Amino acid sequence: MHVRRLAAWVALPLSASLALSACGTGGDTGSSDGVVSIGIAEPQHLLPGNTHETSGAQVMAALYTPLIEYDENNKPYEVAAESVSTTDNKTWTIKLKSGWTFHNGEPVNADSFINSWNFTAYGPNKQDNGYFLTRVEGYADLNPTDANVTPTAKTLTGLKKVDDTTFTVTLSEPFSEFKTMLGYTAFYPLPKAAFQDPAATPLVLKPDFEQAPIGNGPFKIKGVWQHDQRIEVERYADYKGTQPKIGGVNFPIYQNTQAEYADLLANNLDVVKTIPTESLSTVQGDLGERFQQSPASSFQFLAFPTFDPRFSKPEVRKAISQAIDREEIVKAVFQNSQKAAYSFVSPVVAGYRDKTCGAACEFKPAEAKTAYEAAGGPKDINITYNADGGHKQWVDATCNQLKANLGVNCVGTPEAKFADLLQKVEDKQQVGMFRLGWIMDYPSMENYLGPLYSTTGSSNYYGYSNPQFDTLVKEGSAAATQDEAIKKYQQAEDILARDLPVLPLRFGQNNFGHSTKVKNVTIDLFQRVDLTKIEMA
Amino acid sequence: MFRYLVRRLLQMILVFVATTFIVYSLMYATGGDPIQALAGERPVSPTQRAQLIREYGLDQPFLVRYWNYLSGLLQGDFGKSLTGREVSDIIAQALPPTIQLAAIAIVTTIALGVTVGIIAAIRRGGWFDNATLVFTLIIIGIPIVVLAPLAQLIFTIKIPIFPTTATSGDLYALLLPGIILGALSVATAMRLTRASFTENQRSDYVRTARSKGLSKRRVVGVHVLRNSLIPIITFLGIELGALMAGAIVTEGVFNVPGVGFNLFRALRTEDAPLVVGLVSVLVIIFLVANLIVDLLYAVLDPRIRYE
């Protein structure tokens, strides 16, 4: 009897394995009927106020249409907005195109934007994109400095409804680039259906809204967000903007880019936005013409603690800069997945000029060594980096170049986390040089200058302060036209090239590839596939 | 038997509390900044930070936090992950693919490892024995980080028999990753079966059975096999627990949205509630698997009795 019981156990797994092999249903067939598949990572959120990583932003770009988008010269033009106008850069009048509807049929009106922005800005809602509204009047009242106090104000005083399709935005001080900001996820509208009670203050979001967001974009969500698996969207028939050339998009969710790339090689997936660095050496052979590169907004640089006497002389900083062979590092360490940077402002913004850093960023080892010794540069230097970001290789390579070209001792000093690195810098501990990176929030030169180098800039960790620079950035923000603003910003950038508070090292690149089933794949400023241009091959 | 079960269950509660405490304190001791980790290299406004700290109780002392967590757990509340999702939802979604993957792996191990081990033991020293020894040594020598992408390249891209990834979690797509995962323990299972089987073949009761005139089939299939299974069951029980813990590499390569996949992400983003929640479930699985193994001993060997 015992024997038979045992035999039954052995038989059970065997029959199970037979059943397994019998049910071969095949994998996903993502790209039939004009449906394109684009690989993403699991988004953190799908909400205008809370989506800030590229995966979420990609899905949001399908579901929502912003007030403005950017043309080939990276200048803004109206999409959901009829016009965005101002006379003094302080009060902006936004007029919406009429007749647009959300996916549930609700009209897109001034309230849709005002409600969305109020929700995002309200401190207790802890929205990641809240800071985009810092410039709007009344933001401070919604975000008291003592976070445990419930703010008394519930809405932004700077937002005023004029009529159904018009509203005004009053900023706390003039800012000429406000229109440029409006293309970002944070400024998308929300329908009344998003809130438990659309008339309440403060607004409360429906708990399940993020699982199936309702937007005003060219695509509407199909079903719900299937966590860790996929998000599917289909064309919204009543869309009033430019109709996309595809019937829908499937966004399969991947944990790592290697698996994503394998699916592209098997032609199961249509677009991979980031080819993994390990595969860059073989990508030409794998994809040929279907592998493409375009400039991205990220900017990697080496920063100096200018308060540290060792690095306080611009001559020392310039000599270090000239001893670094940027092209060599880009080629050897990054397999050309990034581009050497010779400017402080990314090529993706209007007003970018090549080589603004000038002679200071050119590789001149002999000259650098003489200048370094003449200026009395330190014998021992180190470069601090965060160990969790894959920076070790290039930091070590940079150090080796400095060793060879300047005859100094140089070591890379890892910090466990990026936050640890920032903490040490803020506490003015001895960190030596340190690495930082910047990804723009809105495509304007101002975004690469103000926050990073203004005396009061939110990300000025190097103690750099130049009143002339501050004035120029302020003047740019208050300039009457965008062209005038750009002129001021360019002058400010020229100051950086003289002072060198940081050394530009690399600009990011989109390294993307697509399957044989699609064509016209382009990546926009925010590292999203442009869904209005992509079409079936 | 009943008393033994009760005693074991009581022990399990103690072990469970102790392990969750250790995991919780380890996550606490890493002392990172989960809020900054969530935001990446972007600034977090002080207001937002304070709100999150209050919501997740990060300002409370360690023991209070652990107590809150444990009492929530007893009421079936695993808490919320730092991205705002219910940890219990994430676990409910991650477990099925991992269970399927582990099942396929275990079946592979049994079907290949045990069967081949038995044949090798019967024909000890023959060409089959030697060939399998070499083959299993090769498999055991290739680390999973090589084996998994290699199998993916060969069987899904060069010769497309299987889907490349198992994002949707359907069974057919899980077949290849499951077999790969199982292949790793095939070698161990095989050697274990062979050794245990060989030993038992020489024992007295086998000689008695043979001299009694029983057929070879009955001697091997009933007497020897049953007595040789104890070490194998022990190994498989522990292996099943380990497989449930998520094969981080395999799930990563084949993009299986399972436990390993989520655990890896949770660790990377310092999502302590999610890590502790997942580990708590894994502890339970381990405990139950161990209990079942112990009970199986009694079934296999009538001399073992639990009082």
| Amino acid letter, residue A288 | G
Residue A337, domain CATH: 3.10.105.10
Is residue A204 assigned to a domain? no
Is residue A208 assigned to a domain? no
How does residue B268 score in pLDDT terms, banded at 50, 70 and 90? Answer: confident
B202 is written with which tokens? 């020489």
Q: In this structure, are A78 and A179 located in the same domain? A: yes
A166: three-class secondary structure by DSSP: strand
Is residue B39 assigned to a domain? no
- Rounded Cα–Cα distance for residues A481 and A493 (Å): 19
Residue A278, domain CATH: 3.40.190.10
Does the distance separating the beta carbons of A21 and B255 come in below 8 Å? no
- Rounded Cα–Cα distance for residues A449 and A473 (Å): 7
Q: Digits of tens for pLDDT over chain A (537 positions)?
A: 343 333 334 333 333 333 333 333 333 443 346 899 999 988 888 999 988 888 999 999 999 999 999 888 888 899 999 999 998 889 999 999 989 999 999 999 999 999 999 999 988 888 888 888 988 999 988 888 776 778 888 889 999 999 999 999 999 988 888 998 998 899 999 999 999 988 888 889 998 899 999 999 999 999 999 988 899 999 998 898 888 989 999 999 988 888 899 999 988 899 999 888 888 888 888 888 899 988 888 899 988 888 888 888 888 888 888 888 988 888 888 888 888 899 999 888 888 888 888 888 888 888 888 888 888 888 888 888 887 777 888 889 998 988 888 888 888 888 877 777 887 888 888 888 888 888 888 888 888 988 888 888 878 888 888 899 899 988 888 888 888 889 999 999 988 888 888 899 999 889 999 999 998 999 988 889 999 889 888
Q: In this structure, are A19 and A135 located in the same domain? A: no
Is residue A403 assigned to a domain? yes
Q: How many CB atoms lie within 10 A of CB A520?
A: 13
Is residue B43 assigned to a domain? no
Task: Give contacts of B169 with chain A, Cβ < 8 Å.
Answer: 229
- Rounded Cα–Cα distance for residues B268 and A342 (Å): 33
CA distances A536 to A158, A236, A271, B216, Å, are 44, 18, 12, 66
Q: In this structure, are A329 and A454 located in the same domain? A: yes
Residue A152, domain CATH: 3.90.76.10
Q: In this structure, are A495 and A531 located in the same domain? A: no
Q: In this structure, are A166 and A177 located in the same domain? A: yes
Does the distance separating the beta carbons of B262 and A228 come in below 8 Å? yes
- Residue to substitute from A228, A230, A417, A440, interface B, most B β-carbons within 10 A: A228
Q: List the single residue in B111, B149, B156 with the smallest CB-CB distance to A266.
A: B156
Asked whether A300 and A394 are in contact (CB, 8 A), the reply is: no
Is residue B49 assigned to a domain? no
The separation between CA A279 and the C-alpha centre of its own chain, rounded to angstroms, equals: 23
Q: In this structure, are A408 and A340 located in the same domain? A: yes
B226 is written with which tokens? 């049953």
Does the distance separating the beta carbons of B163 and A28 come in below 8 Å? yes
Q: How far is A176 from chain B (nearest CA, A)?
A: 24
Sign of CA dihedral B142, B147, B151, B153: negative
ipTM computed for the complex: 0.81
- Rounded Cα–Cα distance for residues B17 and B67 (Å): 11
pLDDT given at position A22: 36
Q: How far is A391 from chain B (nearest CA, A)?
A: 14
Mean pLDDT of B266-287: 84
B299 forms bridges with which residues in the sheet? Answer: none
Q: How many structural domains does chain A have?
A: 3
Which domain does B227 fall in, by range? 91-300
Is residue A211 assigned to a domain? no
How many CB pairs below 8 Å do chains A and B form together? 164
Is residue A233 assigned to a domain? yes
A288 forms bridges with which residues in the sheet? Answer: none
Q: How far is A106 from chain B (nearest CA, A)?
A: 28
Asked whether A51 and A57 are in contact (CB, 8 A), the reply is: yes
- Rounded Cα–Cα distance for residues B76 and A236 (Å): 41
pLDDT given at position A29: 40
Q: What is the DSSP letter of A88?
A: S
> Looking at chain B, which residue has its C-alpha nearest residue A139?
B47
Q: What is the DSSP letter of A253?
A: B
Residue B165, domain CATH: 1.10.3720.10
pLDDT given at position A23: 37
- Does the pLDDT at position B307 exceed 80? no
Q: In this structure, are A463 and A342 located in the same domain? A: yes
How does residue B83 score in pLDDT terms, banded at 50, 70 and 90? Answer: confident
- Does the pLDDT at position B5 exceed 80? yes
Does the distance separating the beta carbons of A254 and B165 come in below 8 Å? yes
Q: In this structure, are A111 and A187 located in the same domain? A: yes
Q: In this structure, are A314 and A414 located in the same domain? A: yes
Q: Is the peptide bond before A314 cis (omega within 30 degrees of 0)?
A: no
pLDDT given at position B246: 60
Q: List the single residue in B33, B93, B168 with the smallest CB-CB distance to A417.
A: B33
How does residue B64 score in pLDDT terms, banded at 50, 70 and 90? Answer: confident
Task: Give contacts of B38 with chain A, Cβ < 8 Å.
Answer: 44
Does the distance separating the beta carbons of A418 and B36 come in below 8 Å? yes
- Rounded Cα–Cα distance for residues B207 and B187 (Å): 29
Is residue A154 assigned to a domain? yes
Mean pLDDT, rounded, of chain B: 83
pLDDT given at position A282: 87
Does the distance separating the beta carbons of A229 and B167 come in below 8 Å? yes
Is residue B58 assigned to a domain? no
Q: How many structural domains does chain B have?
A: 1
pLDDT given at position A68: 92
- Residue to substitute from B30, B48, B60, interface A, most A β-carbons within 10 A: B48
Is residue B259 assigned to a domain? yes
CA geometry: angle B304, B306, B307, nearest 5 deg: 135
Does the distance separating the beta carbons of A126 and B32 come in below 8 Å? no
Does the distance separating the beta carbons of B153 and A13 come in below 8 Å? no
Is residue A203 assigned to a domain? no
A512 forms bridges with which residues in the sheet? Answer: A292
Q: What is the DSSP letter of A195?
A: B
Is residue B86 assigned to a domain? no
Which domain does A489 fall in, by range? 300-507
Q: In this structure, are A482 and A531 located in the same domain? A: no
> Looking at chain B, which residue has its C-alpha nearest residue A146?
B47
pLDDT given at position A147: 67
| Amino acid letter, residue A32 | S
**Higher-scoring residue by pLDDT: B97, A30:** B97
Is residue B108 assigned to a domain? yes
Task: Give contacts of B158 with chain A, Cβ < 8 Å.
Answer: none
pLDDT given at position B32: 65
- Rounded Cα–Cα distance for residues A529 and A96 (Å): 25
Task: Give contacts of A28 with chain B, Cβ < 8 Å.
Answer: 163, 167-168
Q: In this structure, are A503 and A514 located in the same domain? A: no
Of B178, B179, B191, B201, give the one whose Cα is nearest residue B116: B191
Sequence length of chain B is 307
Is residue B118 assigned to a domain? yes
Q: In this structure, are A142 and A169 located in the same domain? A: yes
